[in-house]
Amino acid sequence: MVNGGFMQQDIRILIGNLSTDVEEQQIRDVFTGTPGTVSAVSIPRDPKTGKSRGFAFVDMLNNLDAERAVSDLNGQNVNGRTINMSLVPFKKPQRKWYHFGAK
């Protein structure tokens, strides 16, 4: 799926079993040396503590690179923990009913 010269992304990588102290750069470092480019890293955090909830999402520029990264990197060690990777559908954030009309 090409859109404006770029591959359209419809999957993302879910990384589980992360330490609560993991930072974005540590996740990006896992992907160095793999083909493709990481376009975004999202680490959901606990609102009270600010610590990671133990998982993260990684977006890559195209689906083929994401699939290759999962097969190559699943089981790697990050902060002393063996991470689990899987591909999940990319969901666009849905607007709430009260957001319609607002820009």
Question: Can you give the pLDDT of all 103 residues of the chain as single tens digits?
Answer: 444 444 456 789 999 999 999 999 999 999 998 888 999 999 999 999 999 999 999 999 889 999 999 999 999 999 899 999 999 998 776 666 666 665 5
Distance, CA of 1 to CA of 35 (rounded, Å): 19
pTM of the model: 0.79
In angstroms, what CA-CA distances link 47 with 19, 44, 52, 54, 55? 16, 9, 10, 14, 15
Distance, CA of 100 to CA of 103 (rounded, Å): 8
pLDDT attached to residue 86: 96
Distance, CA of 16 to CA of 57 (rounded, Å): 9
Q: What is the dihedral of CA 25, 83, 56, 87, to 10 degrees?
A: 120
pLDDT attached to residue 102: 54
Domain 2-89, what fold? Alpha-Beta Plaits (3.30.70)
The full set of domain ranges for the chain reads: 2-89
